[in-house]
Structure 1
């Protein structure tokens, strides 16, 4: 009677734990559904915080060697354009693999340009909500290794039989109670020790296996959703993994019910057996697993792009120009702005000949150049431009802008700049090449800077398929180079200076450095003396 009471008590606790877990899951599901419905309206992310385990560049770094170097946005250009900030701004992904793919997309590996899918996400609330809900099930709690990076862990076929040993020993109790109890205790002890020891051999991959099972489960559901691209996968190959993966979920042993279930898993070595069953199907159909990963990430990216587009005050779908038409423009745009600057002033321009950009400090030269470069990248990766109209010839984008001393290598500002510009000569591609150079050779004296700048910019202008947009304070270069001249200027009134941030044809005819001395309340003797020196030069 006492034995039955204990058994019923344990069974009741397990049942109660399951009921509480199911009830909690239902409540959390309802909360999540309500929150997801509000994300689009409020233009919010599901999670605003950045996870400490986030590895946005993992896919890019892992597979970049499979791509031609010139097809990717290099590190210097990425840094100069503050592309990390842009990535964070447009990162509305629900999944870790979605984040990693979006980063790799902006680096030039992929495209997120399915216009039909983006339109569906924007216009169908029910479609968008269901898609969001399933993607959120994959989530960001864990950043997985990609399936093709995992190494199959060899299984021991004898150990695969260990779940049956406790059952057999319990059955022996019916025939020989003392022997059965002894064997049961012995077998359970051995299985517990084996579970703890063997888990060390596969624990690192356990989370990736579970994550992959979840990816496959949500891929199947989203593949059945009307409006999503078709995924050519036989999901029957992974039926066992979808059904068994839930048992691999890590339980927090902070209540009696969870502790009992956890002990049950250990005694019957369920994690070991199920891990190897699932792992076998994954490695057998590895290509389909990778397709499933890419499918979830692709859907996630298109949701992110669709929502990002709605946050922009102005945006358009870029139009590709024919690059075989001689003497025609390479890029033309109207009302183009920098996507990271609120209230940015729009500009119009046609990029045909190489351009030298002059103008005073803080007049808008650098921001304008970065706006063009960023929009060229966005146009070629997510088919979005932050402009009223944007037409362009596709090509590589390279920048040499925000140079600085490199303390680790010991390079001075000038040496860092030399290396940055030198790499522009090593681009081996038949495609169009866009080079953006800001304040060229700023780190050396005026005489040599002008001479070196004129020589380098002239050389680059004669290279096939190159377009150069360079900014400088050295107005002398506008007369030395066969470049089209454009400028930015300022308006100085008494104790204030104002900029309109509009690009204008011709070279700059104003300077503001000395006037800024006066406006900044330097002693008037310094201001007047500086003006006299300038007039004498």
Structure 2
């Protein structure tokens, strides 16, 4: 019987439902320059491996910033082990102290409002510039304060204040648009600072660097002036509205909002690295919570073993995380790549995706959906979901040519690469497809590279036996039923069932008879093609 993944635990952490706003989720990733990263996962590979859906599955974060940073984690493979070690250290803290885990999750979840997505704009975005006439704002503010105090001694100055008030009101409401631009980000920054303080108060986080604590304290001192950015719900009832109007008039009279706004923005602009450092710290803590919940809800998982051996990949009972109760498979490659044969729907592409997904997750969140996953540090590239680019006037074949050209360039980069390929050059004729496929796969498998490729062309396997191990998936036809066990088997597929499947689906007998005769004729001339 095929090995299936065991059922999930009785009380798994629920998977998030509802809308995932990827336009906001990916903001940090798109704006951050991952200097020193081993690899940034390309859009092509991200789409080929359905990593957007995988992200939805693995995301158990409790805050929006954790969600943004987790997406960044999934798209960037770091250089070295420091990120992995920090992550496992925090996970270990939460495993030892469930009460602390619950308490910090509650604190970080205060950043769960969509407004928290905008914190990144405070260190990635461009700040509103002071107007050239800002000196006038400061002058009018100072004059207003001086005039109010002087009115106690010289009442006639009230007339001057009455004349000055409309001018200040105009500036006050002109500034409202500037203020509203930060009505989401800065109030959430205050919550972020508070969350960082709460985390750092625990002795388990005592080893955090001094620079982080100093930065948290520096920004905390700005808490009072930044409180003007809190956009609170207006008080209900006539008395509440009256109080609100009086307070608004007070702020307008002294131009409090524009003076504080541009003062705070100047300070925050100089503290971008402070904000970013605190963002990463709190978000990484949330990621640790997320990964721990993911591991607790998985039927099984492993942390990858990073090997120093070149061209080596050993996987036991790997499964695709998006397929409930799916079939687990093993594969072991050493010095050779792998070529998969088999009919449609037998499991080839799903297996390739499962290996690719786990190779990425293993190197990004240190978690694989497998019993064992041994690999060397490896870049992942794919050519699975190719389509015509009608707007760009590119055919399927030309799109694949460009994709594979990029892979060929990567294969010469000097780094180890894992190339994932599904049915190479299926947009061209069979003779050239086999010839080009063999040449390309042999080239990709040079140096420290491994390729995991699928094909319907059984003849291709005859040309690649020196550099590729052969595997296959097969179906079983039992009477009127077609069944798949989705189990990877060694060797190449020697049987074909394509015509039989047409027959089972009631194709006209004339088509079946003619197809059988043509296949027999091709075989007799040594020109048989794969089903």
TM norm structure 1:
0.84
Separation of aligned partners in 1, 2:354 and 2:197: 40
Change (3 A) 1:522 1:265: farther
2:226 aligned with 1:245 = yes
Structure 1 residues 359 and 295: alpha-carbon distance in aligned structure 2, compared to 1, 3 A threshold:
same
Q: Kindly tell me: are residues 191 and 272 of structure 1, through their superposed partners in 2, closer, same or farther at Cα, counting changes over 3 Å?
A: same
Please say if 1:281 is aligned against 2:267. Answer: yes
8 Å CA contact 2:34, 2:76 repeated in 1: no
Structural mapping, 1:304-343, within 5 Å: 304-323=290-309, 330-343=312-325
Report the secondary structure of 1:469's partner residue: strand
* 8 Å CA contact retained: 1:94, 1:140: no
Out of 181, 186, 207, the position equivalent to 2:163 is 186
Separation in 2, partners of 1:452, 1:85:
33
Which residues of 2 match residues 37-116 of structure 1 at below 5 A? Answer: 43-44=13-14, 48-50=17-19, 54-64=23-33, 66=35, 71-108=39-76, 110=78, 111=83, 114-116=87-89
Choose the corresponding residue for 1:498, options 471, 477, 483. 483
C-alpha separation in 2, matches of 1:363 and 1:164: 78
Aligned to 1:349: 331
Give 1:479-494 correspondences, 5 Å limit: 479-481=462-464, 482=466, 483-494=468-479
Distance in 2, matches of 1:294 and 1:206, equals 22
Q: Distance in 2 between matches of 1:526 and 1:67?
A: 59
Query: Using the alignment, how far apart are the partners of 1:124 and 1:264 within structure 2?
Result: 49
Q: CA deviation at 1:448?
A: 1.4
Distance 2:497 2:400 in 1: 25
Q: Residue 403 of structure 1 corresponds to which residue in structure 2?
A: 386
In structure 1, the residue matched to 2:528 is none
Instruction: Give the Cα–Cα distance (whole angstroms) in 2 for the partners of residues 520 and 44 of structure 1.
Output: 40
* CA–CA separation in structure 1 for the residues paired with 2:354 and 2:20: 29
Distance verdict in 2 for CA 1:227–1:358, change over 3 Å = same
Matched with 1:159 is 137
Between the aligned partners of 1:50 and 1:161, the Cα distance in structure 2 is 48
Instruction: Write out aligned runs for 1:134-173 (5 A).
Output: 134-142=107-115, 143-144=117-118, 145-151=121-127, 153-154=129-130, 156=134, 159-160=137-138, 168-173=146-151
Q: 1:74: Cα distance to partner?
A: 1.2
Match of 1:373 in 2: 356
Q: 1:175 to 1:162 in 2, by over 3 A?
A: same
The answer to whether the 8 Å contact 2:348/2:454 transfers is yes
Shift of 1:49: 3.2
1:121 matches 2:62: no
Query: How many residues are aligned here?
Result: 490
Aligned in 2, Cα 1:42/1:334: closer, same or farther, shift over 3 Å? closer
Say which of 432, 443, 450 aligns to 2:427. 443
Contact 1:360 1:473 in 2 (8 A): yes
Which residue does the alignment assign to 2:173? Answer: 196
CA distance in 1, matches of 2:142, 2:485: 79
| Distance 1:293-1:356 versus aligned 2 partners, 3 A rule | same
- Please report the RMSD computed on the Cα atoms of aligned residues, expressed in angstroms: 2.7
Structure 1 position 305, deviation (Å): 1.4
Residue 221 (structure 1) aligned with residue 194 (structure 2): no
How far did residue 194 of structure 1 move? 0.9
- Contact preservation (8 Å) 2:318, 2:371: yes
Q: Residue by residue, what CA displacement relative to the aligned partner does 1:103-162 show, whole Å, maximum 9, x if unpaired? A: 111111554552121133345332122212221222342222141533373373563465
Alignment partner of 1:410: what SS?
A: coil
Indicate the larger mover: 208-217 or 368-377. 208-217
Measured at CA, do residues 265 and 86 of structure 1 come closer, stay the same or move farther in structure 2, by a change above 3 Å?
A: farther
Query: What is residue 6 of structure 2 aligned with on the other side?
Result: none
Higher relative contact order structure (alpha carbons within 8 Å, sequence separation ≥ 6): 2
Matched, 1:534 2:526: no
- Give, in angstroms, the shift of residue 66 of structure 1: 4.3
1:196-218 residue CA offsets vs partner (Å, 9 max, x unmatched): 11344454345333333332232
Aligned partners of 2:28 and 2:72 also within 8 Å = yes
Question: TM-score if structure 2 supplies the norm length?
Answer: 0.85
Cα shift at 1:302: 1.4
Tell me whether 253-262 or 125-134 shows the greater mean CA deviation. 253-262
Q: Deviations over 1:287-323 (max 9, x none)?
A: 3222111112211211121112222111011111122
Gaps of 5+ in 2: 1-9, 523-531
Aligned pair in 2 of structure 1 residues 426, 287: CA closer, same or farther (>3 Å)? same
> Separation in 2 of the partners of 1:137 and 1:246?
17
